[in-house]
Amino acid sequence: MNSRPSPQGSSTSSRRFGGGFDYAQTKSRLDDIERQLSLPGAWDKPGTLTPLLREKTQLADKLALYDSLVQARADMEEWIELANESREEEALSGLDAQIDVFEERLVTIEMATMFAFEHDKNNAILEIHPGAGGVESQDWAEMLLRMYNRYAERKGFQVTQLDYQPGEEAGVKSVTLQVEGLYAYGLLKGETGVHRLIRISPFDSSGRRHTSFASVDVYPDLDDDIEIEVRDEDLRIDIFRSSGPGGQSVNKTSSAVRITHIPTGIVAQCQNEKSQHRNKATALRLVKARLYEQELKKIEESRRQDYQAKGAIAWGSQIRTYTLQPYRLVKDHRSNSETGNVDAFLDGDLDAMIRNHLLFVHSQGKHD
């Protein structure tokens, strides 16, 4: 088989995509940062290196993203050669699978070129809350939780469950996730809003059709050096026992922390860790992220005055409808994109609809 081409062997022009990335320039900057970090005394004050280390990680991730595309193309070309030679079913199946890998990575890079917001590259904090309707909506919230977990798995993102409140009969009352990966916030921020489900209820013995709602909120996971003024006197901190599944040692100690920002009413809690100190630090980070997002929304609202008023996130203005009966369809009401492959979508195959939403946002001159 042919040797696999490397990025270093590509021309400079081929290493540009979307007008927002240059491989050689990015590699040069990464090398420069690594030289700075290797200088004598560079680590004498580690706290001052946080911005540089963060930039280093982001640059390395971008290079890895492009390298993965080059590798996927090389693998695809090898499968093409093998399929042409053998014409065996195994080779053709392998080629199909590799074409899917190449297309997925190509779409990821394409979407990355549409991220203009400062924190699009950040990790994300994602929350899911069921609407009115008891067990129906709580079960729907858990379906969404599974959908986003599977999406993160497809993208190679790491998911940490920061808080989980189980439903009394089924589903969840609320859940907070940290999603770690390059452009996690940029990809997921468009999921913010109300999600509607229409189905024959598995909890209704009469087999009637029900409509359920759940809201999704997504915030950028801010770095510790982002300055958000939070005064101690504005916070109320409550300590309580962890609830729900989590192991015997978790439930025996009062380690869970809930922080309320009194001026805004913002509440965040964390019970993922056994350490009260670490739960408190995470909850405070969530409060800061929500305060930051609140300020961003104020700025964005002033920008949107030139556009048609956008419906508020409420139970009557859902962003997406998932219909399981009497027909099967997922429809995004903002970009008007839709898919009939509901099972695949609920199994985390969200890229096409996320891409259509990003294209719609750009066409309108908006930034979520």
Confidence (pTM): 0.65
pLDDT of residue 305: 45
For 26-51, write each residue's pLDDT tens digit.
899 999 999 999 999 889 888 788 77
Q: What is the pLDDT of residues 285-297, one digit of tens each?
A: 888 888 877 776 7
pLDDT at 316: 57
- Residue 350's pLDDT is 95
Domains of the chain with CATH codes: 7-112 (1.20.58.410), 124-226+314-363 (3.30.70.1660), 232-302 (3.30.160.20)
* Greatest extent of the chain over all pairs of C-alpha atoms, in Å: 74
User: Which residues of the chain are modeled with pLDDT < 50?
Assistant: 1-19, 225, 246-251, 303-314
Per-residue confidence (pLDDT) for residue 314, from 0 to 100: 43
Beta strands in the chain (DSSP E): 124-130, 158-166, 172-180, 193-200, 209-220, 235-240, 256-261, 266-270, 320-323, 329-332, 338-339
Tokens representing 29 are 């900057």
At 299 the pLDDT is 56
